[in-house]
Amino acid sequence: MELTDRELVQRCQAGEMSAFQELVSRYHQKVYMVIFGLLRNREDALDVAQETFFRAHRKIGGFQGGSSFYTWIYRIAVNLSIDAQRRQKRNPLDFRESMDDLLESQGEAARDPFADLHDKELREKLTSAINDLTPEHKAVIVLRTIEGLSYKDIGEILGCSEGTVMSRLHYARKKLQDKLSAFL
Amino acid sequence: MNGCEDKVASIERWLDGELSGAESESLRVHMVACAGCSEARRRLEKLQSTLTDVLLSEAQPVDFMPFWRAVQLRINEKRPWYQDALDWMRGVLPASRLAWVVPAVIALLLAGVSLESYWRGGRNAFATVESIDAYGRNVALLREYDTKTTVIWLYQDQEGENEAAEETAPSGPAF
């Protein structure tokens, strides 16, 4: 029978490394997706994801279980990502270049050129628009879009009220719509 | 969508599954009748599907074993003490709090210096500014007792100069 997250956490707190490995195997992909959504760079996202689980391992002894394990791990991941994003802002990457590399690697060039052009332009615009959001606004968009989390869970992860989550989502979507008005 | 601007937030909550059954039904009925709100819904749905497509398609799968080995390496690695101290500082003092902490630390340092000079039983520096005539000329005197340094600064106010010009006063001695 598969153990629950809570049971695995209790085993981790008793020093069982294999229980922690199981938690990492359950959440590494989801945590990476959220971090990648925020940082938009694979290497940085992998580094922050590994650091997230390292911090989780170090702090798991103090985890009381007041919230679920996944909101707790996402909180660590989002906080580390926001820190990394602020450092990234000071030392920005060329996101358009990385997007071109990615599209090429996915074989996009072999499709209908007109559809490709529109799709590529829309993706570029969207990537740029997402990147222009503040870390806090980007976080609500990513948690809602990738994980489909409720306002309550997002509020728990970000340490703010449901009302704040709602207003941040509204503001972020309005910003994205304004920048993509020609495509929507 | 005249008069429906406040409905956009409700449409978002509805698409996010955050409206109750009754609220959802009321909004659904409204959208059938309102072309503006129906269009707002279409635009939001298109934005959401594009966002999902872009965010999910770009994130490639992560192989578990190499990832786990890298995490294990960090767990077993002995980090320098200052790294732990920096991590602790970042946890306790996020960027939003630093805006308050920096001026507070400066104020505390100034208070500390002032208290120290008070407890030492006297001033170790002296400064004064005196006007020396009706034409805006002043003398500033700064005295630092510990290093036995005295600075005397003679200067003229811009305002005093203008007044002097208006009154066509004779030019005084040059400093």
Residue A49 touches chain B, beta carbons under 8 Å: yes
CA dist list (Å): B98 to B82, B103, B104, B153? 19, 9, 10, 39
**Residue A113 structure tokens:** 């050129």
Residue B175 touches chain A, beta carbons under 8 Å: no
Residue B65 touches chain A, beta carbons under 8 Å: no
The alpha carbon dihedral of B92, B94, B98, B100 has a sign of negative
In a domain, B78, yes or no: no
Q: Among the listed ranges A29-38, A52-61, A148-157, B157-166, which one has the minimum average pLDDT value? A: B157-166
pLDDT (tens digit per residue) in A33-50: 999 999 988 999 999 999
Residue B57 touches chain A, beta carbons under 8 Å: yes
Strand, coil or helix: B106:
helix
Q: Which residues pair with B137 in a beta bridge?
A: B156
CB contact under 8 A, A177 and B47: yes
Query: Mind telling me how many Å the CA of A33 is from chain B's nearest CA?
Result: 6
CATH architecture of A1-93: Orthogonal Bundle (1.10)
**Residue A120 structure tokens:** 């590529």
pLDDT attached to residue A140: 95
* Residues of chain B found within 8 Å of residue A184, distances taken between Cβ atoms: 43, 46-47, 50
Query: A140 with A154: CB under 8 angstroms?
Result: yes
Residue A72 touches chain B, beta carbons under 8 Å: no
Please check whether residues B47 and B15 belong to one and the same domain.
Answer: yes
**Residue A160 structure tokens:** 């703010």
pLDDT (tens, 9 = 90+) of chain B, 175 residues, equals 556 878 888 999 999 999 999 999 999 999 999 999 999 999 999 899 888 888 888 788 999 999 999 999 999 987 777 777 777 776 666 655 666 776 677 777 777 766 766 666 556 676 777 766 666 667 777 777 777 777 878 777 765 444 444 444 444 444 4
Please check whether residues B152 and B110 belong to one and the same domain.
Answer: no
In a domain, B97, yes or no: yes
pLDDT attached to residue A154: 95
Please check whether residues B16 and B33 belong to one and the same domain.
Answer: yes
Residue A74 touches chain B, beta carbons under 8 Å: no
Confidence check: pLDDT of A116 > 60: yes
Q: Give the number of other CB atoms < 10 A from CB of residue A156.
A: 20
For the question of whether the overall pTM of this predicted structure is more than 0.95, the answer is no
In a domain, B79, yes or no: no
Phi and psi for B138 in degrees, rounded to 5? -135, 160
Q: What is the dihedral of CA A72, A77, A81, A82, to 10 degrees?
A: 0
Please check whether residues B111 and B139 belong to one and the same domain.
Answer: no
In a domain, B52, yes or no: yes
Q: Which domain holds residue B95?
A: 87-120
Confidence tier at A54 by pLDDT (50, 70, 90): very high
Please check whether residues B16 and B46 belong to one and the same domain.
Answer: yes
Please check whether residues B99 and B133 belong to one and the same domain.
Answer: no
The alpha carbon dihedral of A143, A146, A150, A153 has a sign of negative
Q: Where are the domains of chain A?
A: 1-93
In a domain, B147, yes or no: yes
pLDDT (tens digit per residue) in B143-155: 777 777 778 787 7
Query: Mind telling me how many Å the CA of A25 is from chain B's nearest CA?
Result: 7
Please check whether residues B130 and B116 belong to one and the same domain.
Answer: no
Pick the residue of B5, B52, B64, B71 with the most A CBs within 10 A to test the interface with A by mutation.
Answer: B71
Count of domains forming chain B: 3
